[in-house]
Amino acid sequence: MNKPNPNPLSSMDQWEEDLLKRYPDPEMTKEKKDFRNYKDSDREDTVREFYKLNHQYQTYDFVTSKEKEFLVFNKREMSIWEALDYLNTLVDDSDPDIELDQLQHLLQTSESIRKDGHPDWFVLTGLLHDLGKVLCLFGEPQWAVVGDTFPVGCGFSEKIVYPQFFNSNPDFSDDRYSSKLGVYTQNCGLENVKMSWGHDEYLYQILKDYLPKPALYMIRYHSFYAQHREGAYDHLMSEEDHEYFNWVKLFNPYDLYSKAPVPPDVEALKPYYQDLITKYLPEKLSF
């Protein structure tokens, strides 16, 4: 049998496209929704294949090993603009139609937050939230960078997308990890819970000393759809988590539905964002 392709998605944006099918914009017209829901079996197959790998390999031990590897931050020193430029080199050639420039996605998210009059750190969070995807440039496979995140070390919820693929995850049949609470205790708080490894946790760890708590929640849990959309892990959530998840929920539509018909003018916006970056962050960050 052929070895499966470790990177089945033609680009990481394919995962986000698929999210829009699962969670369509409530404000979108029916025609547009139908358009979005076109059946493209090739694309569905690649998204399926992607989740199959993700669910199979994201184990408690895998996350622990990635923490050891990446949370020492010895890969690269970059300013935010350098990191944004670096992330933009992710653009790949295989599917030009759906490839949204990463910087454009970040600026569209932050600009729509700004338009709604939210605090400046919230705007900055919009600009930064996907910077952790630079993991891909450090050679990590797609399934360890993007995709819905979920707790490891306890039972996988049926509400996670493609739950059947967890059958091939070794933790699924490991007594330590397979009960509802696994290694955790009731309502222990997400701070004590290991999440599947990806761009959310990585960027949170890079920025945790610099941004207000609601911003850190948005960054750390923005891909945790099983909780912020489905409420599947209330048994691990503390009171505080519930409170701060209101911010995660507020952030999510900006992430998913802010694609503007006219792309933002990067050069014109740069001075505003440079001031914002200087206000909150050091000149260089360690990745």
Q: Shortest approach of Fe ion to residue 222 CB, angstroms? A: 5
CA pair distance 172, 43, nearest whole angstrom: 27
Nearer to Fe ion, 181 or 266 (CB): 266
If we measure between CA atoms, which residue out of 182, 136, 143 comes closest to residue 165? 143
Q: Shortest approach of Fe ion to residue 3 CB, angstroms? A: 28
Nearby residues of 192 by Cβ (< 8 Å), 6 or more positions away: 184
Residue 241 contacts Fe ion per CB under 5 A: no
**Region of 25-33, 119-127, 230-238, 247-255 interacting with Fe ion (CB under 5 A):** 247-255
Nearby residues of 92 by Cβ (< 8 Å), 6 or more positions away: 10, 11, 99
Nearer to Fe ion, 113 or 190 (CB): 113
Nearer to Fe ion, 106 or 154 (CB): 106
Nearer to Fe ion, 63 or 219 (CB): 219
Binding-residue pattern over the window 111 to 150 for Fe ion, x denoting contact by CB under 5 A = -------------------x--------------------
If we measure between CA atoms, which residue out of 122, 138, 121, 147 comes closest to residue 200? 147
3-state SS class at 77: strand
CA dihedral 270, 273, 274, 279 (to 10 degrees): 170
3-state SS class at 78: strand
Nearer to Fe ion, 134 or 154 (CB): 134
Binding-residue pattern over the window 248 to 267 for Fe ion, x denoting contact by CB under 5 A = -------x------------
Task: List interacting residues with Fe ion (CB under 5 A).
Answer: 130, 255
